[in-house]
Structures are given as structure tokens and as C-alpha cells.
């Protein structure tokens, strides 16, 4: 597990002035990686966010290739060395300032891309509160299935439809079946929802047939993004038995553009805790280090802006807020260990979704399905509009950040997406 070093020093400041502003998502203590270009059709380049700028790593002479997946496959030692070089070069008083100023690009002038090539995508179900609340809507007497507290539940999703923040997608169509209908019908989803998630990215892979032990799992983890796994609840309700989600999930998912590394998250580690009467994980999912600091404390919030609000110049309104330590029942290291225990080979750039992150209180719900009790109790927005599920023209925005006494606040940036009418 990453230890604190000079790159985390709260006294460290950058010669990029915007990185020193209070509340900045990308101070010098963060240094997240992303892919950007000067136009949508230009080849993506690897950059690091610093304040409101992007440092072009190849122009700065730090890398010789813009293959993000190759960078992610580097050993933890090489990644730590690159982080140290970037930090030293961007620090106040650095001799690199004159050289690197020409390698800076304004974030507002850049086109952001999906952070890397995503070969495979697995979505987990790590929030026991989400699983329980949703389970109550279908199984009031037995909301949580018996395997939940023993095994990290997951399914394999679709990587090709994952887009970057700003994604606009058409409302999905498919089969649905009303409870009182004799046969299913076809048409646009009427119960379109969002899911507040974190996206954990694999760095180094493992050979097929070679499981990654819990003690080594984090060395295979590169970093995290915000992740919105859009869901068509009515399509899902009809199709998910017996094999799970399919068309209800694979039409669109949206990532924030910046990969915040596990190194940057080091000051915000937290204990992995469960209720005393819950079962202890099986040995391959358990270690002293994981119990002591295997979790990461990340604040998360969800906001909504309707088309009517946008036309009136009104800013998005918050729907919910939670913290990842309150929501997640499994740690990222446990996801890696479980995913590979059967010999499955992970590869650089593979994405592990956390599943909907909902805290224990109703106001911490990570989906409309929970906030509205399955659509039965619509939420009323400040302008008088109501929402049971998402409507055409709605823009959903998610933010994430880490803050703790004695450490500099860092952010995950923003992920937004807009629903368009069915095509």
C-alpha cells in the first residue's frame, strides 16, 4: 500500500497559480492522468491535470509514447518515480518551469477522451445499503440474498458504450412487461435511472491461471474515476432473470476524464469495517492491512439539471450525497482478489465498477430507484418539477473529492451526461 511521501506534503505549492486555489480539484498533491486533444478528431495525448491546466507529458519530455495503457502497466515503482518527477517539476521554484510552461494546455480548450482503452468492464454490487433497499422492493421479507456478505457480486458489462463526461445518449428501447400484462411490449424505457459509482482501473495485469492475492492486489490497481452506469429499470426488471442485466445496462455508461491514482489517494485511506455480527471474509479476501486501511474515504454527490432549469439559467440541484466508506461493503483490493481467484486474467485498462454507492440514510441514495421508492414517491425539485425517473433533456452530474485534516483536498472532477429522446 502506498505510503505518504514528499508528493503529499500539504505545504507543497505549484508555480501553476490555479493549482494553489482553495477548493481546487487538482492541486499539486493530486496529479491525475487523462487523455486529451486540441480537437475531437486529433490523436489523444497523455496529460496530467494541474489546477485549470493540463501538462502534456510527452511535450514535457517525461514519456515517449501516448499509450495510456502502457503507462498503466508500469510497475508501482516506475509509476511512483514518474509521479515524483512531475511533482518536482511543477513545484514552486522548479528549474523546469520555463521549459514546461510551453507544455501546458488550458483544460477549457481541450477535448477530453475516455482515459484509456477499456478492454473489459466488470460491474460489482458493493453497497450493502443499495442492495438491501432495492431488495426490499422485490423481496420485502428477504431483501438481501444469502451470498451477499460472503462474495463480491458482479457481472460482466459492455465496454464499447462507455463514454467520457459530457456524453449524450438516446433513451434506450427494449422489451418491458407490466405486472398486469399478459405479454411484454416494446418501446422506450419509462424508468431510466442513474447509478452513482466509482470506476476502479487495473494497472498491471496478471497471467491467466495466476490469482492475485489480497496482499498484492493494490499493486495491480492504477486509480479511480467517477462512474455513472445508466440503467433502464423497466427493461432490467423483465430481462434480468436468470442471467442478470443485459440491454438494461449496455446502452451507455459515463466516466469522468481523470484517473486519480492510488498514490494520490494515500492520505485518505480508511479502515475497512463491518458490523461486529457480520461474517468475516474468507481468507483470500482478508488481510490485516486491508482491515486497517483498505478503504478510501471519497465524498460523493449527485446533482440534476432538467431541460427547463437549463433554459431558465438555473444551476443543477443536489439529489444526494454520501461517502464511499459509508457505502461500500468491499474494498478495491478485495475486488481484484476475487476477480482473479479463479485464474481470470486482468489487463491494463480493465474497469471495475463499484456498483451503486448508497449510504445508510435515505438522503444518501445513489439512484432514483431508491430516492423515489421505485417511482412511488416522486421527488419535487425547487422549480416545482417532479421526477420519479429521468426525463428527456435531463443532465445528471456527479462530483467526488477527498478531504481530511492535515491533508490537501483533492478532487475526482466531474462526470455529466444528458438523456436524449429515443431515436
The alpha carbons of the chain give a radius of gyration, in whole angstroms, of 21
Which member of 8, 113, 129, 130 is catalytic? 130
Residues with Cβ within 8 Å of residue 96, at least 6 apart in sequence: 60, 88, 89, 90
Is the CB of residue 354 less than 8 Å from the CB of residue 157?
Answer: no
Rounded to whole angstroms, the Cα distance separating 12 from 6 reads: 8
Is 113 in the active site? Answer: no
Measured CA angle at 399 (ends 380, 381), to 5 deg: 10
* H or E element at residue 110: none
Whether 278 and 291 have beta carbons less than 8 Å apart is answered as no
Q: Kindly tell me the burial class for residue 366, based on how many C-beta atoms sit within 10 Å of its own C-beta (0-12, 13-18, 19 or more).
A: buried
**E strands of 266-409, at which residues?**
269-270, 295-296, 299-305, 317-323, 351-353, 379-380, 386-387, 395-402
196 and 143 Cβ atoms separated by less than 8 Å: no
Give the integer Cα–Cα distance in Å for 113 and 96. Answer: 27
Q: Grid coordinates standing for 338? A: 476475487
Q: Comparing C-alpha atoms, which of 289, 295, 317 is closest to residue 387?
A: 317
How far apart, in whole angstroms, are the C-alpha atoms of residue 319 and residue 365? 9
Q: 211 CB contacts (<8 Å, ≥6 apart)?
A: 284, 337, 340, 341, 342, 343
Q: What is the largest CA-CA distance in the chain?
A: 74
Closest C-alpha to 157, from 246, 86, 81:
246
- Measure the CA–CA gap between 133 and 296, rounded to whole angstroms: 23
Distance CA 343, CA 210 (A): 5
Residues belonging to the active site? 130
Amino acid at each position: 500500500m502506498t505510503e505518504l511521501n514528499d508528493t503529499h506534503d500539504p505545504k507543497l505549492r505549484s508555480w501553476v497559480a490555479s493549482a494553489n486555489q482553495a477548493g481546487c480539484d487538482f492541486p499539486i498533491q493530486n496529479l491525475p492522468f487523462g487523455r486529451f486533444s486540441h480537437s475531437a478528431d486529433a490523436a489523444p495525448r497523455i496529460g496530467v491535470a494541474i489546477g485549470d491546466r493540463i501538462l502534456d507529458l510527452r511535450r514535457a519530455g517525461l514519456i515517449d509514447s501516448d499509450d495510456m495503457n502502457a503507462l498503466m502497466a508500469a510497475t508501482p515503482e516506475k509509476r511512483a518515480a514518474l509521479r515524483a518527477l512531475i511533482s518536482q517539476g511543477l513545484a514552486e521554484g522548479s528549474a523546469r518551469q520555463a521549459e514546461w510552461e510551453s507544455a501546458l494546455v488550458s483544460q477549457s480548450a481541450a477535448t477530453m477522451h475516455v482515459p484509456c482503452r477499456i478492454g473489459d468492464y466488470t460491474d460489482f454490487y458493493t453497497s450493502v445499503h443499495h442492495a438491501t433497499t432495492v431488495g426490499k422492493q422485490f423481496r420485502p421479507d428477504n431483501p438481501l440474498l444469502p451470498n451477499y456478505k460472503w462474495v463480491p457480486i458482479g457481472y460482466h458489462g459492455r465496454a464499447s458504450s462507455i463514454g467520457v463526461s459530457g456524453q449524450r445518449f438516446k433513451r434506450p428501447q427494449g422489451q418491458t412487461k407490466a405486472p398486469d400484462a399478459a405479454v411484454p411490449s416494446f418501446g422506450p424505457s419509462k424508468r431510466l435511472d442513474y447509478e452513482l459509482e466509482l470506476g476502479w482501473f487495473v494497472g498491471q495485469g496478471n497471467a491467466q491461471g495466476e490469482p492475485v492475492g489480497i496482499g498484492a492486489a493494490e499493486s495491480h490497481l492504477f486509480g479511480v474515476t467517477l462512474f455513472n452506469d445508466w440503467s433502464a429499470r423497466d427493461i432490467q426488471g423483465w430481462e434480468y432473470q436468470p442471467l442478470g442485466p443485459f440491454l438494461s445496462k449496455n446502452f451507455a455508461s459515463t466516466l469522468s476524464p481523470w484517473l486519480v491514482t492510488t498514490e494520490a489517494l494515500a492520505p485518505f485511506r480508511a479502515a475497512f469495517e463491518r458490523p461486529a455480527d457480520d461474517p468475516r471474509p474468507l481468507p483470500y479476501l482478508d488481510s490485516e492491512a486491508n482491515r486497517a486501511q483498505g478503504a478510501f474515504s471519497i465524498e460523493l454527490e449527485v446533482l440534476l439539471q432538467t431541460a427547463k432549469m437549463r433554459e431558465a439559467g438555473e444551476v443543477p440541484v443536489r439529489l444526494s450525497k454520501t461517502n464511499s466508506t459509508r457505502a461500500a461493503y468491499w474494498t478495491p483490493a478485495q475486488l481484484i482478489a476475487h476477480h482473479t481467484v479463479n485464474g481470470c486474467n486482468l489487463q491494463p485498462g480493465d474497469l471495475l465498477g463499484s456498483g451503486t454507492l448508497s449510504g445508510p440514510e435515505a438522503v444518501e441514495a445513489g439512484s432514483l430507484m431508491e430516492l423515489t421508492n421505485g417511482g412511488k414517491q416522486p421527488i419535487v425539485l425547487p422549480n416545482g418539477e417532479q421526477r420519479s425517473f429521468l426525463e428527456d433533456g435531463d443532465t445528471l452530474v456527479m462530483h467526488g473529492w477527498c478531504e481530511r485534516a492535515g491533508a490537501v483536498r483533492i478532487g475526482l472532477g466531474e462526470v455529466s451526461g444528458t438523456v436524449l429522446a429515443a431515436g
